[in-house]
Amino acid sequence: MSATDAVIPASTGAAAPASGDDLVTVDDLVVHFPITSGIVFRHKIGAVRAVDGISFTVKRGETLGLVGESGCGKSTTGMAILHLEKPTAGHVLYEGADLASLSGRALRRQRRRMQMIFQDPYASLNGRMTIADIVGEPLLVHKLYPRSGRNQRVRELLELVGINPNTLNRYPHEFSGGQRQRIGIARALAVEPNFIVCDEPISALDVSIRAQIINLLLELQREFGLTYLFIAHDLSVVRHISDRVAVMYLGKMVELAENAVLYGEPVHPYTQALLSAVPIPDPEAEENRRAVVLQGDVPSPADPPPGCHFHTRCPAAQEGLCNVEPPVLREVRPRHWASCHLVTNTDFPHIRAGEDDLAVVATGPVMGDASAATVVHTDALDAAGENDHGDV
C-alpha cells in the first residue's frame, strides 16, 4: 500500500470545488436479500440487510468516496444506485427523476447517463466478444453513431484510455489486467455518461498499475466533467481521489464529510479506528503509529445488533444508549455528517487531531469506556483486515 502512495502524485482531488447542485440523490435506500427455506414451497425466514437505510447526495462534478470493510454493503449501494440490484425500499433520484419509476426502454435510456466501472476486469469483459464489439456495443444499442462512424469512435475511445486502437479485433484474454480495466473504462465512456460508479476499480489490479488507472480516472474527470462515486476499501486511494468521503459500516452510513475533514478530524469511533490502521509511508512515523484495534468481528448483516450497529465493537459504547437506540445521521457541523450518539454538535472526540499527529492515541472526553479498545503497534496489521484485494 505504501508503494501505491509513493507512485501517486500529490493530491489533486481535495481541492476540486463541488459546484453545488446534486446530481444523484439517494434517499433512505434499503437493499435486503431474502433468506429462504424450503425447496418446493419457499418461504422467507430472514433477510441479509446489505444496505439498511442510507441517504446521501452526490454533487455534480465531485468524487464521492465510499469506504468500509468488506461486506458492509458499499458495492450493493453502487449496484442499487444503478438499479442493477432492485432496492427493497427507498429512492434513487438522478437529476431529480426517480429511477424506480422507469422500466424497460426508459430505464435503459436513463442508464446511458450512469455507468459503472467494475472491480474485476477479468469478469467484466465478455470473453467471446472482441474489443471492438465490447466498446462498440453501447454505441450500437443506443444507435449513437452510424455504422461507418462507429468504428472510428471506438478507436477514439480506445486511444482515450491508452489502448492501441489497432488491437480492436482482439479478445479480452489477450490483454493484461490493467489494459482490461482501461477497456472497461472505454466501454463506460462510450455512452457519454455524467455519473460513473467506480466499484473498487483498482483493488484487483497490480500495485504498479493502480496509480495509472487512478490518474486515468482523474484525467477523464477533468476532461469530461464526470461525477464519480468511488467505492473502495483502500483508504489512501480514496483520500487521493475523493472530494468527499462517506464511511459505511454494516449497511449504515456512519460518517460523511469533506476529504480533509474526514481524514483530519474524524468524529465517529469507527472512522477513527479505520483511519488509525492506515500505514504511514514515513518509517519514523510508522514506527510510532498506534492503531485502535477493534475487538471481535463484524456482526452478520442477517442479524445486525440492535441500536447502533457498531456498538458491539465500539470502544466508547454506552450501555443503555448505544445498544438500544439506533443513531441517525446528523450534520454535526457544517457539511459534516455523523451517526453517533456520542458526537454532539459542540463536542468532537478525536483520536488524532491533525495529519502529522498520528502517534497520539486517546479516547475523547465523552468516550467513557476505553478498555474495549486495545492499543497496539501496527507491525502485525495492515489496515485492519481491509486489505483483501486478493479476493478475485
- The residues binding other proteins (CB under 8 A) are 79, 82, 84, 108-109, 111-112, 114-116, 118-120, 122-130, 137-138, 141-142, 159-160, 162-171, 173-176, 178-179, 182, 184, 187, 190-191, 212, 215-216
Pair 157, 182: CB distance under 8 Å? no
Using DSSP, state whether 38 is helix, strand or coil.
coil
Pair 174, 135: CB distance under 8 Å? no
Pair 6, 28: CB distance under 8 Å? no
User: Within its chain, how far is the Cα of 328 from the centroid?
Assistant: 21
Nearer to other proteins, 211 or 250 (CB): 211
- Provide, rounded to whole angstroms, the least separation between the CB of residue 98 and other proteins: 18
- Provide, rounded to whole angstroms, the least separation between the CB of residue 215 and other proteins: 7
Nearer to other proteins, 15 or 39 (CB): 39
Distance in angstroms (rounded) separating the CA atoms of residues 246 and 56: 9
Nearer to other proteins, 182 or 313 (CB): 182
Nearer to other proteins, 166 or 346 (CB): 166
Distance in angstroms (rounded) separating the CA atoms of residues 338 and 316: 15
Pair 253, 339: CB distance under 8 Å? yes
- Provide, rounded to whole angstroms, the least separation between the CB of residue 110 and other proteins: 9
Nearer to other proteins, 159 or 369 (CB): 159
- Provide, rounded to whole angstroms, the least separation between the CB of residue 251 and other proteins: 21
Nearer to other proteins, 185 or 250 (CB): 185
Pair 302, 48: CB distance under 8 Å? yes
Nearer to other proteins, 216 or 261 (CB): 216
Using DSSP, state whether 381 is helix, strand or coil.
coil
Strands 227-232 and 63-67: parallel
Nearer to other proteins, 79 or 317 (CB): 79
- Provide, rounded to whole angstroms, the least separation between the CB of residue 53 and other proteins: 24
Cα distances (Å, whole numbers) of residue 41 to 48, 196, 277: 20, 40, 47
- Provide, rounded to whole angstroms, the least separation between the CB of residue 55 and other proteins: 23
- b/e per residue 78-116 (b: at least 16 CB within 10 A): bbbbbbebebbebebbbeeeebeebeeeeeeeebbbbbb
Pair 165, 158: CB distance under 8 Å? yes
- Provide, rounded to whole angstroms, the least separation between the CB of residue 176 and other proteins: 6
Torsional class of 247: left (φ above 0), alpha (ψ -120 to 50), beta (otherwise): beta
- Provide, rounded to whole angstroms, the least separation between the CB of residue 85 and other proteins: 9
Strands 195-199 and 22-37: unpaired
